[in-house]
């Protein structure tokens, strides 16, 4: 199974960038450093906790229709499942024949069968609809830290993560991450 991001968290990145202007007391976004910094801060938090903190739309590519475990977080919602029929036409699977659990288990409903076809595509939403307040605060701290230390050469000694980031993220970190 191959996965691609169809719609990423751009809306959230735009929100973070606009808020960073306020947090950092900048006049505007023209600095050019703000957007990459907000992206780095969000991605750091997601990587550190081994989970998504923004809603995204993903597409899974399968050779054929089958019961699968879709990668992602709790709260997976399938938008559409399509496949190529024997004539090479893309068809949509009737949602009444399958169920997708919150954990991404895509299963057939009792008495149903997958249509015959190949090159299946499953478009689904993954990740939370709201970012937890502690994670947003950790992102804010990281944005400020990354902005203040945005050059490799500095007279100041480079510091570890800002005080509190690990504590704010601790309860959102997957066990074993």
pLDDT means over runs of 10, the chain (177 residues): 80 67 61 73 89 88 91 85 94 95 89 93 89 89 81 60 87 76
- Whole-number pLDDT of residue 177: 46
Q: Which helix (H) or strand (E) holds 92?
A: strand 90-92
Predicted structure pTM score: 0.73
1 Cβ neighbours under 8 A, 6+ residues apart: 60, 61, 62, 68, 71
**Top-tier CATH class for 2-53+133-170:** mainly alpha
């Amino acid at each position: 199974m191959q996965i691609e991001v169809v719609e990423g968290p751009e809306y959230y990145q735009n929100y973070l960038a606009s808020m960073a202007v306020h947090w950092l007391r900048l006049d505007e976004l023209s600095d050019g450093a703000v957007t990459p910094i907000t992206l780095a801060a969000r991605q750091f938090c997601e990587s550190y906790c081994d989970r998504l903190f923004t809603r995204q739309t993903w597409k899974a590519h399968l050779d054929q229709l089958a019961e699968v475990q879709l990668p992602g977080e709790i709260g997976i919602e399938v938008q559409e499942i399509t496949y190529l029929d024997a004539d090479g036409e893309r068809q949509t699977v009737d949602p009444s024949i399958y169920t997708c659990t919150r954990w991404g288990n895509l299963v057939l409903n009792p008495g149903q069968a997958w249509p015959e076809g190949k090159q299946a595509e499953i478009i689904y939403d993954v990740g939370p609809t709201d970012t937890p307040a502690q994670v947003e605060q950790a992102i804010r701290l990281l944005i400020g830290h990354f902005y203040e230390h945005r050059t490799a050469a500095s007279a100041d000694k480079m510091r570890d993560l800002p005080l509190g980031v690990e504590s704010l993220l601790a309860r959102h970190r997957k066990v074993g991450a």
